[in-house]
């Protein structure tokens, strides 16, 4: 019976050491993006659009886990402060997504920053306010 117990303990320790090696091969990743916006959209007396000034700062801190060279998981927040507001954070949205990155293509699923996807397209294709008002996809 002692031999059986000792064999099980040694087997468990050898398997556990293999798991610990795998965990240590993963890397902790982080990203922090800071955007600032000042858009003075003052129009004349147009009935279709409202004259306003959009100004503020947006911070997107994220913490991730790189499983290997291609697979990553990120969790973070999108924090927005409108200038002139009495609040420190006016809007907060969650960021949580899985990403697969290879030399040929990228794949992301979850709530990820819109700037990651639209960085490859010309800015003329999208309204300026889209990136500011709806920062996550």
Do the domain assignments include residue 73?
Answer: yes
What is the extent of the structural domain holding 64? Answer: 27-133
Both tokens assigned to 89? 């954070």
Do the domain assignments include residue 116?
Answer: yes
**pLDDT at 3 (0 to 100):** 52
In the chain, the number of structural domains is 1
Q: Is the pLDDT of residue 43 over 70?
A: no
Do the domain assignments include residue 104?
Answer: yes
For 46-102, write each residue's pLDDT tens digit.
667 666 777 888 888 999 888 888 888 899 888 888 888 888 888 888 888 898 888
Give percent above pLDDT 70 in the chain. 59
User: The dihedral of CA 11, 12, 17, 21: what is its sign?
Assistant: positive
Q: 103: part of which helix (H) or strand (E)? A: none
CB-CB contact of 73 with 64 (8 Å): yes
Do the domain assignments include residue 5?
Answer: no
Q: Is the pLDDT of residue 126 over 70?
A: no
For 3-41, write each residue's pLDDT tens digit.
555 565 555 555 545 544 445 567 888 888 888 888 777
């Amino acid at each position: 019976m002692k031999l059986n117990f000792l064999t099980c303990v040694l087997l468990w320790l050898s398997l556990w050491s293999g798991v610990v090696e795998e965990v240590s091969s993963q890397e902790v990743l982080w990203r922090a993006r800071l955007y600032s916006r000042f858009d003075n959209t003052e129009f004349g007396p147009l009935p279709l659009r409202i004259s306003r000034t959009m100004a503020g700062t947006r911070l997107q801190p994220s913490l991730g886990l790189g499983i290997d060279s291609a697979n990553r998981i990120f969790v973070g927040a999108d924090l927005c402060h409108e200038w002139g507001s009495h609040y420190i954070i006016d809007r907060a949205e969650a960021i949580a997504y899985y990403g697969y990155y290879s030399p040929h293509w990228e794949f992301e699923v979850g709530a990820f920053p819109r700037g990651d996807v639209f960085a490859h397209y010309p800015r003329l294709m999208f309204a300026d306010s889209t990136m500011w008002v709806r920062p996550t996809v």
